[in-house]
């Protein structure tokens, strides 16, 4: 194994009531009047109030205009609102869309050039504005990654900014914040977290640290996601999901994700299918493709899933994993096939042409893919 480096949020607070430490973290960072980035769903569900109730005598501004799969224009608007507000810091309260918007805005606030210049790896010059993130979904892992993703509606693609300046100062992962998460979002973001753990474990870039995190994440998520979906107020299930998603975020934030994400991005970008759902549509089919490249690792996944594999060959254990993936996507009622979304089959070759360009992710995938291979996977998932 070559040299492995590990990065995460500067500080992470996890578990029930971890949110009670918010004011202390703010004091440590010198945050006197925060700008809160959120969305209308979080505000209307009362979830935002759990945070603002802790601020009492602290003045703050709320920006609640973040939309799902946020566009670049949202970041522009958010930056303008932040600069006008004269607030000194940022708190993100939301899912991946909110956290990504806030993280990108935090580095963009200090930057004089166009937002376009920051896309890609290592293009961000720095960050001066302190930022705390409080996730309200168990899924994206954005609270601990150095990645932010936005939609470019003109080019119909998702674009990523990768920079260690996107690592937040503090991530507070308190399961109470996910209790009001709607069922559909619980399902989609939960599958996204599972994909993060699996792809990180199978990544060509995995190491001992990310392996440990990914396996624990898989175990937590496979057992708790169906429960969190079936009983939204089951606090144990919500807590396990919050932890699983955090660990998966730490794993993929360092090992990377692979072909599931690479193939999901063009689907989400063109047809506005949520990130978790587009991942779910591809997950079993990409794993079927990957299996022969790393069947021993699939056996480890089967073990994490508590499958009865003592008498099974690696090949059989891998098949049990794939069956289980079909089952969990079905359990959380995500449609099985791309064709369920009124997408014409003729477009699949264009999606494959887009996906093959996502070299940043494809190079992590354990089995090499050509454009033809990608098209074949889209067809099997159609």
Q: Which residues bind Fe ion (CB under 5 A)?
A: 192
- Name the residue nearer to Fe ion (CB basis): 143 or 192: 192
- Name the residue nearer to Fe ion (CB basis): 192 or 239: 192
Rounded CA separation 123/118 (Å) = 5
CB of 99 to Fe ion, least distance (A): 12
Query: What contacts 189, CB < 8 A, 6 or more positions away?
Result: 95, 96, 137, 138, 139, 140, 181, 245, 276
- Name the residue nearer to Fe ion (CB basis): 100 or 169: 100
Rounded CA separation 254/120 (Å) = 16
CB of 253 to Fe ion, least distance (A): 11
Rounded CA separation 238/100 (Å) = 22
CB of 275 to Fe ion, least distance (A): 6
3-class DSSP state for residue 234?
coil
Q: 174: phi > 0 → left, psi -120 to 50 → alpha, else beta; which?
A: beta
CB of 257 to Fe ion, least distance (A): 6
Q: For residue 44, how far is the Cα from the chain centroid?
A: 23
Cα three-residue angle 347-353-356, rounded to 5 degrees? 135
Task: Using alpha carbons, list the distances in angstroms from residue 258 to 174, 195, 198.
Answer: 28, 9, 9
Contact indicator for 62, 104 with CB cutoff of 8 Å: no
- Name the residue nearer to Fe ion (CB basis): 100 or 192: 192
CB of 350 to Fe ion, least distance (A): 22
Q: Which residue has the tokens 């939960």?
A: 190
Q: Which two tokens stand for residue 336?
A: 């099985």
Cα Rg, the chain, nearest whole Å: 20
CB of 128 to Fe ion, least distance (A): 28
CB of 47 to Fe ion, least distance (A): 22
CB of 60 to Fe ion, least distance (A): 30
Describe the crossing of helices 314-331 and 295-304 by its angle, rounded to 10 degrees: 50
Q: Which two tokens stand for residue 275?
A: 């990130």
Nearest residue (beta carbon) to Fe ion: 192
Rounded CA separation 46/319 (Å) = 43
Q: Which two tokens stand for residue 203?
A: 């990544």
- Name the residue nearer to Fe ion (CB basis): 69 or 192: 192
Provide the terminal-to-terminal Cα distance of the chain, rounded to the nearest Å: 38
- Name the residue nearer to Fe ion (CB basis): 192 or 300: 192
- Name the residue nearer to Fe ion (CB basis): 262 or 309: 262
How many other C-beta atoms are found inside a 10 Å radius of the C-beta of residue 122? 11
CB of 254 to Fe ion, least distance (A): 14
- Name the residue nearer to Fe ion (CB basis): 143 or 319: 143
- Name the residue nearer to Fe ion (CB basis): 129 or 189: 189
């Amino acid at each position: 194994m070559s040299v492995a480096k590990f990065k995460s949020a500067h500080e992470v607070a996890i578990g029930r009531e971890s949110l009670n430490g918010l004011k202390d973290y703010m004091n440590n960072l010198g945050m006197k009047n925060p700008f809160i980035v959120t969305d209308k769903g979080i505000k209307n569900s009362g979830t935002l109030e759990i945070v603002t109730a802790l601020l009492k005598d602290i003045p703050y501004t709320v920006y609640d205009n973040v939309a799902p799969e946020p566009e670049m224009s949202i970041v522009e608007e958010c930056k303008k609102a932040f600069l006008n507000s004269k607030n000194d810091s940022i708190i993100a309260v939301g899912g991946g869309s909110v956290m990504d918007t806030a993280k990108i805005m935090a580095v963009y606030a200090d930057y004089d050039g166009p937002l376009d210049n920051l896309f890609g790896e290592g293009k961000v010059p720095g960050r001066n504005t302190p930022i705390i993130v409080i996730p309200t979904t168990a899924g994206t892992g954005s609270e601990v990654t150095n990645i932010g993703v936005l939609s470019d509606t003109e080019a119909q693609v998702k674009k990523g900014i990768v920079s260690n300046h996107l690592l937040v100062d503090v991530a507070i992962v308190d399961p109470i914040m996910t209790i009001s998460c709607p069922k559909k979002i619980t399902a989609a973001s939960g599958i996204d977290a599972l994909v993060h753990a699996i792809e990180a474990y199978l990544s060509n870039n995995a190491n001992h640290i990310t392996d440990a995190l990914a396996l624990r994440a898989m175990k937590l998520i496979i057992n708790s996601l169906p429960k969190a979906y079936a009983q939204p107020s089951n606090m144990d299930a919500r807590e396990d999901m919050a932890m699983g998603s955090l660990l998966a975020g730490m794993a993929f934030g360092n090992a990377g994700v692979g072909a599931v994400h690479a193939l999901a991005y063009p689907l989400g970008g063109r047809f506005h299918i949520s990130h978790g759902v587009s991942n779910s549509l591809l997950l079993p089919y990409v794993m079927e493709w990957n299996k022969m490249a790393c069947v021993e690792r699939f056996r480890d996944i089967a073990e994490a899933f508590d499958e009865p594999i003592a008498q099974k060959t690696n090949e059989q254990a891998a098949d049990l994993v794939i069956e289980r993936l079909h089952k969990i996507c079905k359990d959380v009622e995500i449609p099985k096939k791309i064709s369920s979304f009124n997408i014409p089959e003729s477009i699949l070759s264009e999606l494959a042409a887009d996906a093959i360009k996502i070299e940043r992710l494809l190079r992590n995938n354990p089995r090499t893919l050509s454009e033809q291979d990608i098209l074949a996977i889209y067809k099997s998932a159609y």
